């Protein structure tokens, strides 16, 4: 039962009943507002591309990557995109295409980075 010690209404049975009804209405409205405001959706995390190297390719072997040739510091020529690296040696990088074919490319001037997939 509610406590009416802090209320400003007269201390009669009918006034206490009115006060209880008003509090019940207010509590119901407040609960509805709280329930609506609780459904907050967090934004999806943004994709961050990671450079794949001979040292860390095993960590990303299940991730789709783009393989490219570095022509100079600002220019890249793509070799394959959305492939998965299956091996990285001293001379060759083996990768698997989307249709399951295994191919290889030379390590010379090669770059690789993860892509969203």
Structural domain including 72 reads 51-114
* Residues 27 and 63 occupy one common structural domain: no
Rounded average pLDDT over 24-47: 73
Per-residue pLDDT for 28 more than 80? Answer: no
DSSP code at position 4:
-
Per-residue pLDDT at 62 exceeds 60 = yes
* CATH number assigned to the domain comprising residue 98: 2.30.30
Of the two residues 8 and 52, the one the predictor is more confident about is 52
pLDDT per position as a tens digit, 69-107: 888 888 889 999 999 999 999 999 999 998 999 999 998
Cα 97-56-45 angle, rounded to 5 deg: 80
Find out whether 92 and 105 touch, Cβ atoms under 8 Å. Answer: yes
- Burial (0-12, 13-18, 19+ Cβ within 10 Å), 95: buried
| Number of domains within the chain | 2
pLDDT score, position 112: 87
pLDDT of residue 3 exceeding 70, the answer is no
**What global pTM score does this model have?**
0.58
45 falls within a domain: no
Q: Same domain for 62 and 107? A: yes
Q: Is 14 left (phi over 0), alpha (psi -120 to 50) or beta?
A: alpha
66 within some domain = yes
């Amino acid at each position: 039962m509610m406590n009416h010690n802090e209320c400003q209404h007269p201390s009669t049975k009918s006034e206490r009943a009115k006060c209880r009804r008003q509090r019940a209405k207010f509590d119901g409205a407040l609960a509805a507002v709280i329930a609506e405001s609780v459904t907050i959706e967090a934004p999806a995390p943004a994709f961050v591309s990671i450079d794949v190297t001979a040292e860390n390719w095993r960590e990303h072997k299940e991730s789709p990557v783009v393989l490219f040739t570095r022509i100079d510091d600002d220019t890249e020529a793509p070799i394959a995109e959305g492939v998965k690296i299956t091996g990285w040696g001293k001379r060759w990088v083996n990768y698997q295409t989307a249709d399951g074919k295994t191919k290889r490319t030379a390590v010379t001037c090669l770059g690789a980075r993860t892509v969203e997939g």
